[in-house]
Amino acid sequence: MFNESTRATKKEATATAVLDAARAEFERVGFEAANLRAIAKRAGVSAGTIIHHYGDKRLLLHAALFDDLDRALQHALTHLGDGPLEDQLSRLGRAVFKSYQRRPTLSRTLLKESLFADAPWAQKFAAQTSAVHAAIAKLVHDAIARGELKHDVDGALVAVAWLSFFYFGLIAWVQGGHAKPVALVEKLVAQHLVGLRPEKRRSR
């Protein structure tokens, strides 16, 4: 049992090192210029080890992007805190944008690869989006219960709207069209929520 536990720990440490090295190398030189030998050297493993665990460079990219984004999303969704829905959505947007902005070159690749990835990664990235959608729908449900929004507001549609605003801001930032995407998304969200509030709250 000890040997199995040791092997599992070592395997996890190797995976972490490889994915960290891949993200750093992709950010440094871009996906096309990056190569497995450089990534392996940075991770302290052989290129054969990377191929054995992840396959080719594109599959390694998908694994690295998914792992990084998944950690950011999980952290963001568990630290939304209490308070008004608008504040919770703001915290979510800021946390996820912070993850993208930490590696701008990789973020461009992420947008392209997550949208057009092959199976099974397409399904994995779609599942991440679905998880965010479900979390926001739950926040809307809670906001309705608190009286922040009208009782007939559709939480699923609000979640779709937020995701649309978020991706619009993200694409605008990646393309260099907007220097402050977080502020843009927050403004769009605030404008959207105004029409969903009860009359007495809207007039305040």
Q: Is residue 119 within 8 Å of 78, Cβ to Cβ? A: no
Per-residue pLDDT of the chain (204 residues; tens, 9 = 90+): 557 777 778 888 899 999 999 999 998 998 899 999 999 999 999 999 999 888 889 889 888 888 888 888 999 999 999 899 999 999 999 999 988 888 888 878 877 777 778 888 889 989 999 999 999 999 999 999 999 999 999 999 999 999 999 999 999 998 888 889 999 999 999 999 999 999 875 544
Neighbours of 145 (CB within 10 A): 10
* Pairwise CA distance, residues 26 & 23, whole Å: 5
* Pairwise CA distance, residues 92 & 102, whole Å: 16
Which token pair is 132? 């965010």
